[in-house]
Amino acid sequence: MLSAFRLTTLRPWKPLSSSLLSSTARSLRQVSTKIKASPTPPLAPTAGAAAERIPVWQMFSKLKNSTVPTMLYVAPDKKRGAVLCYVAALLQLAFWGNIATWVWFDYAELDPETNKYELSSFEKRAAYATGLGAVGLLVASAFLYFPSRRILTLTVTPNARQVQLQTPRMLPFLTPRVRTYNIQDLYLQEPLWTGVGRNECEVKGTAGMGFAVLWVSRRVGARFQGFLLDREGSFWEADGGAKLVDKLFIANK
């Protein structure tokens, strides 16, 4: 009994872990062999890869041969500036309106005979109050006029003969206005394209902020009338849209 026990205990013993390791290594070799035998799939293009640039003459030719309107520019969705202008207009109306109301009801002048302040004459109070109210309306209109000159969209008609400008109205609750001009009646005083920034039309040192002025020619009877192109807007054919705008309007100066 003891000898049998000794024989069984002296038999060579193979650890369990070594068998697991050998089977795992065998399966890994099989998997690696299958991977090497399978063809390698092509690499997908990265999301940040730069798109191929389209020459300006090619974009201009595409624009002239188009049979449908082409939206060349869309303004960024920035409402803070317009809201500040509307708030400033309301504050100006309230400020000058309060002064005009005080003049209308309480404006008094010193009477040299009685040495007392007496209510001024009706004509003088009416003139002063009207003048102050007119100043308030003028200043408020100036604050409302600025956002109404901002171009929301710039659309070129088929065959690139006319352009449609969509602009806000002076009152924010009204629908935007669409103005149609011949392309030769609009011009840029300076090039829009600078080669700097996301849209390549950023002026150095402005962090992308700023406007370019699209002027209306005096040939159509307008003097000192212009529209504002936000340099942070989006252009058709983004890699050269600003150059295309320059090609359309710089030559008309």
**What CA–CA distance (Å, rounded) separates 231 from 74?**
10
**What CA–CA distance (Å, rounded) separates 242 from 231?**
9
Say if residues 75 and 233 touch (Cβ distance below 8 Å): yes
Placement of tokens 């009416």 in the chain: 126
109: number of Cβ within 10 Å:
11
Co-location of 128 and 248 in the same domain? no
35 located within any domain = no
Which is more confident, 123 or 33?
A: 123
C-alpha distances in Å from residue 153, one per residue of 150, 190, 192, 230: 9, 20, 16, 11
Co-location of 64 and 127 in the same domain? no
Structure-block tokens of residue 246 = 């320059």
Tens digit of pLDDT for each residue in 66-91?
A: 888 989 999 888 778 888 899 999 99
Paired with 216 in beta bridges are 186
**Sequential DSSP letters for 92-152:** HHHHHHHHHHHHHHH-EEEETTTTEEEEPPHHHHHHHHHHHHHHHHHHHHHHHHHHHTB-S
Provide the whole-model pTM. 0.65
Residue 205 has pLDDT above 60, yes or no: no
Percent of the chain topping pLDDT 90: 25
**What CA–CA distance (Å, rounded) separates 19 from 72?**
71
Co-location of 68 and 168 in the same domain? yes
Co-location of 94 and 173 in the same domain? no
Average pLDDT, the chain: 76
Co-location of 242 and 157 in the same domain? yes
Per-residue confidence band for 27, with pLDDT thresholds at 50, 70 and 90: low
What residues make up the domain containing 170? Answer: 56-75+150-252
Co-location of 66 and 177 in the same domain? yes
In the DSSP assignment, the letter for residue 170 is S
Provide the domain count of the chain: 2
Paired with 110 in beta bridges are 117
24 located within any domain = no
Tens digit of pLDDT for each residue in 209-229?
A: 578 888 888 777 656 688 988
101 located within any domain = yes
Structure-block tokens of residue 18 = 């070594």
**Cα angle 220, 150, 92; round to 5:** 110
The residue out of 93, 127, 147 marking a domain boundary is: 147
